[in-house]
Structure 1
């Protein structure tokens, strides 16, 4: 994966954080749900937008790795990360 400046955006409905990833000549818009951040990244319920972005940035390496795996397994222009993606099996 190429290094790209991450500019996460909390969705207007506050249900997730949007960010982009790219791989060689393909790119995908990704969304990680707030529920996922709460369950797997220690985000407290009802957190402020600033806290959501901080939590996202703190967990970005894991989040990016999962998004990249999903993009490789199922190439698509949109990737959604849910709590199930991070559940240990």
Structure 2
């Protein structure tokens, strides 16, 4: 299964989310991950600037896409919104 995170991720205007497109199960899925999740589970520094948030997102892309796939398999509505609880298992 070819799942990827598109390189065109962007930080929301308020800095609380990183929005991205994940390709999971043969389709493009609009997604976001919270700053909190990136800080707690992907080594983004607390209060990181946009560049560091995007780097944490790209560095953790395999785990992030796996979480998207789990939600897609469960039939979650789009867009898929990931938070820290999605990585606490």
Normalised by the length of structure 2, the TM-score is 0.85
1:70 — aligned with what? 71
Contact (CA 8 Å) 1:28, 1:76: kept in 2 or not?
A: no
Aligned length: 87
1:20 — aligned with what? 21
Contact (CA 8 Å) 2:6, 2:20: kept in 1 or not?
A: no
Runs of 4+ more than 6 Å apart? none
Gaps of 5+ in 2: none
Pairwise CA RMSD: 1.7
Q: Distance in 2 between matches of 1:86 and 1:4?
A: 17
Q: Distance in 2 between matches of 1:81 and 1:13?
A: 17
1:10-89 correspondence to structure 2 within 5 Å: 10-22=11-23, 23-24=25-26, 26-88=27-89
Gaps of 5+ in 1: none
Contact (CA 8 Å) 2:4, 2:65: kept in 1 or not?
A: no
